[in-house]
Amino acid sequence: MEQILQTTYLWLKAGHVIFVIFWMAGLFMLPRYYVYHQESEPGSAEEARWIDREAKLRKIILTPSIIAVWLFGIALATTMDLWSQPWLHAKLLFVLGLSGYHGWLAAYGKKLARGERTLSGKQLRLLNEIPGLAAAVIVVLVIVRPF
């Protein structure tokens, strides 16, 4: 039984890490796409291409990845009975924040597609730092487990 649990844990962990990488890649790419989108001429063919690229990135990479990250993460925490660990609570707080950021990015993309350009390229470039900072904190919480 212990061998089965250990093998299951390793597969769950591998799946979680793989989809975290995909999700983070998408979270880094999407704000950059928005910068290029905003720099394109409104109503141009280039703008239409950016709208299509953004939608595909959300549909093909970001949405499936966030779902898989949550499913694998919940399965890992349950399999290893980690729900009472303070470091996991802190990690979940940051993952919830990233999930909210993901949702905000998706909503902003829909605004852009409607022609609403409410942020500057500089603001989008600064927002692009959020996933990197969150990832650094999450990695420390998971690896170091400071509390």
Residues placed in the known binding site for heme? 16, 91
Question: Is the backbone of residue 144 left (phi > 0), alpha (psi -120 to 50) or beta?
Answer: alpha
Whether the CB-CB separation of 27 and 62 falls below 8 Å is answered with yes
Distance CA 32, CA 38 (A): 10
Q: What is the 3-state secondary structure (H, E, C) of 30-99?
A: HHHHHHHHHHCCCCCHHHHHHHHHHHHHHHHHHHHHHHHHHHHHHHHHHHCCCCCCHHHHHHHHHHHHHH
Backbone angles phi, psi at 100, to 5 degrees: -65, -40
Residue ranges of the annotated binding site are 16, 91
